[in-house]
Structure 1
Amino acid sequence: MIKLIVGTKGTGKTKTLIEMAKKAAEESKGNVVCVEKGEKLVRELPNTVRLVNSEEYDIQGFACLYGFLAGFLAGNYDITHLFIDGTFKIGKIGDVEKDYEGFAYMVQCLAKLNTEAQIVFTVSCDASDLPVSVNEYIVK
């Protein structure tokens, strides 16, 4: 299951993700993973959540991010929740600030994976900027 927490800067997306990750850490019988650019959530999340700094892996674009996330899921069937904070920062390539189509394609590819894991993204933009193909995943 994929969920998108969408909103412009300062609308509480990361705070919502933190609360969801904390709840998942309490309730999950498997592994909870959070991917972010940098290490700002290290003090916000319990130590049972595996934090991954995307900067250590030189992710360039959403095709790379897809491979990175799919690799996590393929390599560890115990992952029940996968949280990605700052999606457009992680998936940025070159001078393109927000690759909406690349993001939508990545989401569609992730949706095809045979996984029980819940995948949650924070997406910094107005929901109307996203392609309609991802509307079903937006958390209201």
Structure 2
Amino acid sequence: MIQVFCSQRGSGKTKALIQMANSKVETEKGHIVYIDDDKRALFELHRQIRFIPTCDFKIKNYENFYGFLCGIMSQDYDIDTIFVDGLFNVVNLDRDSAAHLFYNLEQLSEDYNVDFYISVNEEENIPDCMGKYMNDLYVNDLVYA
């Protein structure tokens, strides 16, 4: 399953994703990974969540990001949930590369039974291919999704 949360910058997406990740620690049996472009969320996440700041790596395009995800998943077969906070901050995507990335994410999700929760800023030019993954809930309701 893939869910994309889209809202205005500063609307509380990061805070809601962190709360959602922290609540999943108590309900999920598998491991949880939280990917962000900086290290600000490090101390807000439960200690059982694997936090990975992409600022430490040189991720430039969707192929790098997909390889990065595959490397994370190949290292730990017990991962069942991956959060990506600020996808467009992590990797530059145009329409075509977003379509390729989401096709590959769909395959990963199905093949390895991993759920992806991804946040994006509404100001970005959202590719059409992401529309079917958009969540209609308001940011305040993310914790209950």
Q: TM-score higher than 0.5 here? A: yes
- Structure 2: distance between partners of 1:83 and 1:69: 11
Q: Pick from 107, 110, 124 the counterpart of residue 102 of structure 2.
A: 107
Aligned-partner Cα distance in 2 for 1:81–1:73: 10
Q: Which amino acid aligns with 2:130?
A: V
Structure 1: which 5+ runs fail to align?
93-97
Report if aligned partners of 1:17, 1:83 keep a CA contact under 8 Å in 2. yes
- TM-score w.r.t. structure 2 length? 0.83
Matching of residue 15 in structure 1 with residue 12 in structure 2: no
Percent identity over the alignment is: 28
Q: Does the CA-based 8 Å contact 1:104-1:130 persist in structure 2?
A: no
Q: Deviations over 1:37-76 (max 9, x none)?
A: 1210012111111111111121112221111112212332
2:86 maps to 1:58: no
Can you give the 5+ residue segments of structure 2 that lack an aligned partner in the other structure? 137-145
Distance 2:10 2:96 in 1: 23
Any conservation in 2 of the 1:61–1:90 contact (CA below 8 Å)?
no
Deviating 4+ runs (over 3 angstroms):
none
What's 1:86 paired with? 86
Q: Say which of 125, 132, 135 aligns to 2:122.
A: 125
- Which residue of the partner structure matches residue 24 of structure 2? 24
Query: Would you tell me which structure has more helix in proportion to its own residues?
Result: 2
SS of residue paired to 1:112: helix
In structure 1, what is the Cα distance between the partners aligned to 2:12 and 2:62?
23
TM (normalized to structure 1)?
0.86
Q: How many residues align?
A: 134
Give the stretch that moved more between structures: 43-52 or 103-112.
103-112
Aligned residue for 2:45, secondary structure, equals coil
